[in-house]
Each structure stands twice: as structure tokens, then as C-alpha cells.
């Protein structure tokens, strides 16, 4: 087995959220299902929504494009509307905005469990006193972190809300990772970044991070390395074995 670098040796470790710390995709799938099941019942649209619809029409698409595609599959057409539409509007944008409200409801009702291996790594970094931050494109990052019960662990959460406010270019541009390092007052050249998406790996790599870790949740090791990952793991627990245990930890209550 390749020996992995010791992440506690870095000044800070910056984590992507969705797919790295939390399996957020499942909560999004559930939110789509809940929203469209309600909508189809109210509008008497048949056939009813199934999981297949997620993969055929929603997965990987921008939110509004997905809504339009799914409605089209049922021969339903509504006006496009505007992103500022209220959730009560029967427009593509209004329905898309409804999904976001349902997503927040799903998070509150069911919570979201962090990947156990990611939690183990966060524990090891906390025990070693290593600074950690989140760098996510999501506008729901704060809600997801709170639902996962790990918000308090991070000194800085760079998310889609801050990026939009500060006009930061999204991944794969390096801006969000570099700005998060600046907020932490650490040098990217002495810090590590952890990502599961090719665009995220490319972002951290071009930001000059000393170590870019790719977490392979399906993107593929070769593609993650090609995008700029120095090491690729399938689960962050692999780093915990590589982290020397702190003797003081044994005496901590």
C-alpha cells in the first residue's frame, strides 16, 4: 500500500463539502422526489414521479433546466418565469425554487450523516490542532453543515453565498480556495485541499496548494490525477491510519 502524507503536517486542510464530507446527492434526490410527487399529485400528472426520472431528466443538470426537461417528459409546459419567482409561482423557476425549500425541509427532518471516514479524519485533525475549512460551491453549505452537526468544526466556510457576494469565479478557477486560505490566514503552499470533483481538484491545483487530495466517489482515479490531484483515496479514513496518534489524546476526557 502506498503511504499517504500526514495531513496534520499542513498548516490547514480545506475540504469540499458535497461528496467529500457529506453524501449530499442523496438528500437532493430525495428533495426532487418529494417535490415532484406532491406537484404531480396536485396537478394530476401521470405517470407518477419515479427514481428513474432523476437520472433521465435531473441528474447533472442546472436546476431549472432539469425542471423543464422533466415537465416536458409529461407533456406539461409552463412559462419559464424568472429566478426571483416566489416558490408559489407555477413557472419553471418557481418550481425549481420550491425544490430548494423542500431540500432544506428534508435536511431539517432527516439530518444528514457525514461519511464516517471523513468524520474520523476531522476528529484526527482536531486532535492534532490542524485548522480546517470548507470550500463549497453550494448555497446550502451552512444548512448542510448544521444538519450534519459539524458546522462548529470549521473556522471558515467559503460557500456559494459568499462567492456570489464577493464576485469570486467558481471552480475550476482557483479563486474560492485561494480566498478561503486568505480568510484563514494560511499560505496555500503550506496547506492541503480535498475534493471529489474534477473541477474542484483543478481549482485547488491551480491555487497552488501543497497537497491536493482527490476523493474518488466515481470520477475515477486517473481523471482526478489528470485534473491535478497528488494523491487519490476512496475514503478519507485512509488518512487516519496514516496520522500518528497524539499521546496527549489518550489522556483527553
Question: In the complex, which residues of this chain contact Mg ion (CB under 5 A)?
Answer: 16, 18-19, 196-197
In whole angstroms, how close is the CB of 196 to Mg ion at the nearest point?
4
Cell 448542510 locates to 144
Q: Which is nearer to Mg ion, 71 or 150 (CB)?
A: 150
Which among 6, 16, 159, 246 is annotated as catalytic?
Answer: 16
- Strands lying side by side in the sheet with 156-158: 156-158, 131-135, 12-15, 192-195, 211-215, 231-233
- Is residue 123 among the annotated active site residues? no
Q: Which is nearer to Mg ion, 18 or 159 (CB)?
A: 18
For residues 149 and 154, give the distance between their C-alpha atoms in angstroms, rounded to a whole number.
11
- Is residue 11 among the annotated active site residues? no
Kindly state the cell numbers that stand for 82. 424568472
- H or E stretch at 133: strand 131-135
For residues 70 and 253, give the distance between their C-alpha atoms in angstroms, rounded to a whole number.
53
* CB-based closest residue to Mg ion: 19
In whole angstroms, how close is the CB of 200 to Mg ion at the nearest point?
6
Q: Which is nearer to Mg ion, 31 or 194 (CB)?
A: 194
Residue 94: name the closest of 60, 71, 110, 61 by CA. Answer: 71
In whole angstroms, how close is the CB of 31 to Mg ion at the nearest point?
17
Which among 2, 6, 11, 18 is annotated as catalytic?
Answer: 18
Active-site positions read 16, 18
Amino acid at each position: 500500500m502506498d503511504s499517504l502524507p500526514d495531513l496534520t503536517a499542513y498548516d490547514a486542510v480545506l475540504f469540499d463539502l458535497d461528496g467529500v464530507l457529506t453524501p449530499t446527492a442523496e438528500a437532493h434526490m430525495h428533495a426532487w422526489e418529494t417535490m415532484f410527487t406532491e406537484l404531480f399529485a396536485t396537478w394530476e400528472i401521470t405517470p407518477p414521479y419515479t427514481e428513474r426520472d432523476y437520472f433521465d431528466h435531473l441528474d447533472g443538470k442546472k436546476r431549472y433546466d432539469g425542471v423543464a426537461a422533466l415537465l416536458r417528459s409529461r407533456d406539461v409546459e409552463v412559462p419559464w418565469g424568472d429566478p426571483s419567482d416566489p416558490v408559489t409561482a407555477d413557472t419553471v423557476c418557481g418550481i425549481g425554487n420550491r425544490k430548494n425549500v423542500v431540500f432544506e425541509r428534508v435536511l431539517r427532518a432527516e439530518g444528514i450523516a457525514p461519511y464516517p471516514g471523513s468524520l474520523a479524519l476531522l476528529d484526527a485533525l482536531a486532535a492534532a490542532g490542524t485548522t480546517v475549512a470548507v470550500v463549497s460551491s453550494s448555497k446550502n453549505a451552512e444548512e448542510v453543515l448544521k444538519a450534519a452537526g459539524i458546522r462548529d468544526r470549521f473556522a471558515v466556510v467559503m460557500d456559494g453565498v459568499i462567492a456570489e457576494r464577493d464576485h469570486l469565479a467558481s471552480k475550476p478557477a482557483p479563486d474560492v480556495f485561494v480566498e478561503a486560505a486568505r480568510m484563514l490566514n494560511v499560505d496555500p503552499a503550506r496547506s492541503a485541499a480535498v475534493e471529489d470533483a474534477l473541477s474542484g481538484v483543478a481549482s485547488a491545483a491551480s491555487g497552488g496548494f501543497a497537497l491536493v487530495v482527490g476523493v474518488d466517489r466515481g470520477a475515477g482515479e486517473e481523471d482526478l490525477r489528470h485534473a491535478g490531484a497528488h494523491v487519490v483515496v476512496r475514503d478519507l479514513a485512509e488518512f487516519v491510519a496514516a496520522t500518528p496518534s497524539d499521546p496527549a489524546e489518550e489522556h483527553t476526557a
